[in-house]
């Protein structure tokens, strides 16, 4: 089937059962991994980018030819670069220098203007903190005013969670043939978790949803922030109030260390042939925790958020 444009290739990604990995660890149950790194921009954020831009155009908040500005760790920016490029909107991506360099290069290759923001004093490359994100947010606000641009606002725009409610959640349920008992997702903007868990609970209200955070930055679970820097790019910024999670049911919280996320991502590549990034590793580590404990014998869904190609300059693949 030939598509009218690359936008038609966003979504409907395959899912894979990780039965071999579960069995190798002597666990009972199943893990279903949604391969969203196979989207055109190599991440799940393509769905949110398309959802936000379509909703904004439909409402009139975004007019033809208007510039779009958004902060990003790289994935939303890549998705927006693709979507905006195809729909006739100049796009400005604002990103911390703490994120991997390949992300900036990919966005630029796709036609985005990339503005890199220095990390806060003491910041460590590869570890983007809440303080770093605050600096990126300030620059995104300034550019939005200066360019009279539309702010995609992935942390608040309902088109983010809406895209996952409409597509990712129903796909997961269908791919599992209605057998899922739980869903776990690393908290970035909260859009993937919020959209998916609402869609999945519409099929089975007993299904349990778990938010995943970095150990030492599990503020959504009510813990204090004492490790602001961690290697799991794309989330875990220590933000207590994520607007997209306001009406999303949460049945439990899990925390993973950077080492656990790194080890799980490497195991995914080695054992399952899935070349993914840090947050995907965090999701797998969390799902394995669940099968060891409260979801023993259950069926847990996770998202493979982005490609390992976006981390070649980090220590993930050393």
- The burial of 266, by beta-carbon neighbours within 10 Å (0-12 exposed, 13-18 middle, 19 or more buried), is given as middle
Q: Are 163 and 56 in contact (CB under 8 A)?
A: no
Strands lying side by side in the sheet with 15-17: 15-17, 30-34, 299-303, 182-186, 208-214, 252-256
Which one is catalytic: 34, 45, 201, 310?
45
Q: Is 5 annotated as catalytic? A: no
Among 52, 17, 13, CA closest to 32: 17
Q: Is 45 annotated as catalytic? A: yes
Which one is catalytic: 279, 280, 307, 310?
279
The residues assigned a catalytic role are 45, 279
């Amino acid at each position: 089937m030939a598509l009218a444009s690359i936008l038609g290739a966003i979504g409907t990604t395959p899912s894979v059962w990780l039965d071999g990995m579960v069995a190798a660890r002597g666990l009972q149950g199943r893990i279903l991994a949604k391969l969203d790194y196979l989207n055109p921009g190599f991440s799940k954020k393509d769905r949110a980018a398309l959802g936000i831009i379509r909703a904004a155009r439909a409402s009139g908040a975004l007019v033809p030819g208007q510039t779009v500005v958004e902060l990003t760790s790289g994935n939303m920016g890549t998705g927006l670069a693709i979507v905006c490029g195809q729909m006739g909107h100049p796009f400005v991506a604002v990103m911390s220098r703490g994120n991997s360099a390949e992300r900036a290069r990919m966005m630029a290759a796709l036609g985005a203007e990339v503005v890199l923001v220095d990390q806060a004093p003491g910041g460590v490359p590869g570890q983007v903190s809440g303080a770093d994100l605050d600096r990126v947010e300030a620059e995104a606000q300034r550019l939005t005013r200066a360019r009279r641009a539309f702010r995609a606002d992935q942390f608040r725009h309902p088109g983010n969670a809406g895209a996952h409610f409409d597509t990712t959640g129903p796909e997961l349920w269908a791919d599992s043939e209605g057998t899922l008992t739980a869903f776990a997702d690393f908290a970035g903007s909260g859009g993937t978790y919020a959209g998916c868990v609402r869609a999945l609970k519409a099929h089975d209200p007993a299904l349990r949803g778990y938010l995943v955070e970095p150990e030492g930055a599990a503020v959504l679970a009510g813990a204090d922030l004492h490790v602001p820097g961690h290697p799991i790019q794309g989330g875990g910024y220590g933000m207590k109030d994520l607007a997209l999670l306001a009406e999303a049911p949460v049945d439990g919280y899990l925390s993973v260390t950077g080492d656990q996320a790194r080890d799980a991502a490497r195991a995914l590549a080695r054992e399952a042939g899935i070349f993914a990034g840090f947050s995907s590793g965090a999701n797998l580590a969390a799902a394995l925790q669940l099968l060891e404990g409260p979801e023993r014998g259950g069926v847990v869904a996770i998202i493979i958020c982005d490609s390992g190609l976006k981390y070649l300059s980090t220590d993930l693949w050393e």
